[in-house]
Amino acid sequence: MRFLFGPELAPGPGKDLAVLLLVFWLLVPASLFGSPKSELTVKRRATMAYFGTVTQIVVFADFSRNEALQNWENCWTEAKALLAELETKLSPEIPEGSIGRFNALDAGGSVIIDNETAEVFRLAREVHEISGGAFNPAVYLLTDLWGFTPRFNLPAASRPVMPYDRPGGPGSALPDQRYIRAFTGLADFSRCVLTGEGGRFVLSKTGPDELVDGRRYSLKIDFGAVGKGYAAEKLAALLYRYGYRYGLVNIGSSSFRLLDRYAKEDESPVADAFGADLWPVNVRSPFDQSETYLTAYGKNEGISTSGNYERFYTINNRRYSHIINGKTGAPSEGEIISATVIGGDAARNDALTTAFCVMSAEEGRRFMEEHLQDHQVILILADGSLISNTTRYRRNP
């Protein structure tokens, strides 16, 4: 998906299918700590150095004093250090990180992991279990087989080559069925076992490996669907620690953590229905990405949207997207083509929206009713109809 803040941001390589436009009225700014709102000004920083995508932080505060400007610089420096640390720990592409070391193991191996990776693992396991396996971090090999991992963002001449790569690249032909079967067998997240407590955690890989043409393949996991949301939550906590109340964090144009929204007291663009202090979030149409499908509203919560209509290729008039169904070993063909979840934790929302996109419409409705009563959920189906548990949105004509 893509979230847009002001000028359009380039989509990140992560969950960037469903396209959101977060419309912000960036107003003449004001003080956070009791001074008039007219004194608030906005500061923005963005970087593409982490998680292979754009990270953007926006805050509103009173920056009239030099100390306030230095506070912002210190916050941004610490934010970048935090991003670098989390990326190393969580990325499957960094060999020395916790996930990189785990993925290098053969079946039966174990590795000591850090507290943050253990926390992300527990969150992923929770959503995996309540979704009946619809959310599955163990599909990394299948995602690579179908051509949607970060190595396919590299030029073909410098891209690492795997035995199962198609000569013409992704989109030229379907993957070899032998690899689909083998990697589907490996896509079993229950074979990842976390033990330990008190700051010492061990992640173990159980079950057999698979052999194809004499080469051994072992289960690999990828927390890309939750890692950026987790980092957004950590950055939001950092902003609060530095004294910022108004603003947002955007990682990968796929994971947002909203703080309070600043609005002029004389400006109430949505006050008639929802209150002027809510961020308006425009969800682009999956049928015409130049159009807005609906606008939702929120603050002080996470937001995520996923969909199957932006990162894909077509073979024989059939669309294959990057959202992989671990049960079938193939890209999802679910009726839900866009899923938005607002409320609570940004990392959990990332996982939930991915899970929705491999469910049928009825499965999605039941899952929403049974597990997400405290979240706002908006599901767009292939026929253009909606399934939702909230009225806090406006659908465009």
Q: What are phi and psi of 185, to 5 degrees?
A: -65, -30
Mean pLDDT computed over 321-350: 95
Q: Any idea which residue has 């043409």 for tokens?
A: 213
Mean pLDDT of 133-150: 97
Which of 4-18, 32-46, 200-214, 224-238 shows the lowest mean pLDDT across its residues?
Answer: 4-18
Left, alpha or beta for 343 (phi > 0: left; psi -120 to 50: alpha)? left
Residue 5's pLDDT band (cuts 50, 70, 90): very low
pLDDT, tens digit (0-9, with 9 covering 90-100), for 180-191: 999 999 999 999
| Among 310, 382, 323, 314, residue whose Cα is nearest residue 350 | 323
pLDDT value of position 30 = 34
Q: Does residue 266 register a pLDDT over 80?
A: no
What does the pLDDT look like over 70-119, one tens digit per residue? 999 999 999 999 999 999 999 999 999 999 999 999 999 999 999 999 99
Lowest-confidence segment of 213-222, 252-261, 366-375, 376-385 by average pLDDT: 252-261
Is residue 300 within 8 Å of 9, Cβ to Cβ? no
Decide if 357 contacts 328 (C-beta within 8 A).
Answer: no
* Domains of the chain as residue ranges with CATH: 98-223 (3.10.520.10)
Phi, psi of 382 (to 5 degrees): -60, -25
**pLDDT at residue 1 greater than cutoff 50:** no
Mean pLDDT computed over every residue of the chain: 87
Give residue 28's identity as a one-letter amino acid code.
V
Q: What is the pLDDT of residue 231?
A: 97
For residues 41 and 19, the model is more confident at 41
Nearest by Cα to 339 from 190, 131, 141, 152: 131
pLDDT band at residue 7 using 50, 70 and 90 as cut-offs: very low
Report the pLDDT value the prediction gives residue 32, as an integer from 0 to 100. 36
C-alpha 222/C-alpha 215 separation (Å) is 21
Dihedral of alpha carbons 141, 96, 229, 41, sign: negative
Mean pLDDT throughout 2-25? 38
